[in-house]
């Protein structure tokens, strides 16, 4: 447990869990962590453990209600659902979410819309600390996955910039997957994420400057040892990135939907 303010403790894990005043829990990572208010930043399976508890308040942003069922969670994670398969390796929660709190208001909690990772991804400011969820990631996480998971890559970049601005007025920033640092180090990590994503765009553009490639081929080229699940996830981010770039053309070929930089 890491104490970062008088009333806030962080339980390290994946995700890191924030506990405020022993009462409010954000992104619970362990069923043993109790709190009368359980908040989730978004609907991915590793963030909704608290919504399965008997808490008085179980809040998930309404834009994240796709995650109420296993089928919905699979659709917004892998891009499809089917019979059970080992490729669905992030199915940490199989149950449906029930008895959610439709509206949650607390004078001590400020909700911040941070879309990109998912449609309704939301951060929370409590005790002047921003819990930013999966808006950005630790260096090792980025290096391990190669491509950060964003269903809307460009909205995610906007959300990171938004957090950078908010960081000027809060005491600290906490993320779900990454280290627990001082504010100054977290600001450096924000900048690292911005630079990493900008370099990723340039690398993808470079790959398709001389040959046409599918998003899956790009994912494999970026991380040759990638898993089958990784191909599904990373190709989602790559497609979002490519469809938002200028001077990129795409067409259907026997090997699938391919992208290439326009030749003038």
Q: Looking at residue 15, what is its pLDDT? A: 98
Residue closest to 164 by CA, chosen among 123, 117, 111, 108: 123
Q: Looking at residue 109, what is its pLDDT? A: 97
Which residues neighbour 235 within 8 Å (Cβ) at sequence distance 6 or greater?
Answer: 79, 214, 215, 216, 218, 219
Q: Determine contact, residues 219/234, Cβ cutoff 8 Å.
A: yes
- Domains defined for the chain, CATH in brackets: 2-207 (3.60.15.10)
Say how far apart CA 110 and CA 122 lie, in whole Å.
10
Name the strand (E) or helix (H) holding 257. Answer: strand 256-261
Low-confidence ranges of the chain (pLDDT < 50): none
pTM over cut 0.85? yes
pLDDT in tens, 118-137: 999 999 999 999 999 999 99
Which residues neighbour 168 within 8 Å (Cβ) at sequence distance 6 or greater?
Answer: none
Q: Looking at residue 264, what is its pLDDT? A: 67
15 upstream amide cis, omega within 30 of 0: yes
pLDDT in tens, 63-118: 999 999 999 999 999 999 999 899 999 999 999 999 999 999 999 999 999 999 99
């Amino acid at each position: 447990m890491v104490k970062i303010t008088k009333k806030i403790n962080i339980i390290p894990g994946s995700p890191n869990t924030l506990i405020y005043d022993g009462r409010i829990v954000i992104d619970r990572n362990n069923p043993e962590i109790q709190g009368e208010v359980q908040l989730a930043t978004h609907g991915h399976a590793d963030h909704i453990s608290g919504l399965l508890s008997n808490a008085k308040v179980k809040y998930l942003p309404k834009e994240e209600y796709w995650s109420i069922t296993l089928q919905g969670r699979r659709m917004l994670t892998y891009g499809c659902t089917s019979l059970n398969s080992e490729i669905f390796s992030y199915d940490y929660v199989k149950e449906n979410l029930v008895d959610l709190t439709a509206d949650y208001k607390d004078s001590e909690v400020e909700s911040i819309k941070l879309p990109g990772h998912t449609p309704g991804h939301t951060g929370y400011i409590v005790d002047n600390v921003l819990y930013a969820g999966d808006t950005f990631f630790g260096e090792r996480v980025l290096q391990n996955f190669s491509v950060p998971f964003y269903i809307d890559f460009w909205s995610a970049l906007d959300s990171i910039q938004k957090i950078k601005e908010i960081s000027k007025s809060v005491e600290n920033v906490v993320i779900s997957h990454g280290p627990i640092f001082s504010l100054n180090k977290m600001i450096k990590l924000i900048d690292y994420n911005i630079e990493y994503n900008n370099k990723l765009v340039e690398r993808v553009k470079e790959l398709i400057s001389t040959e046409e490639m599918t998003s899956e081929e790009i994912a494999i080229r970026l991380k040759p040892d990638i898993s089958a699940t990784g191909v599904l996830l990373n190709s989602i981010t790559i497609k979002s990135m490519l469809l938002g770039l200028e001077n990129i053309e795409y067409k259907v070929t026997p090997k699938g939907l391919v992208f290439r930089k326009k030749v003038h």
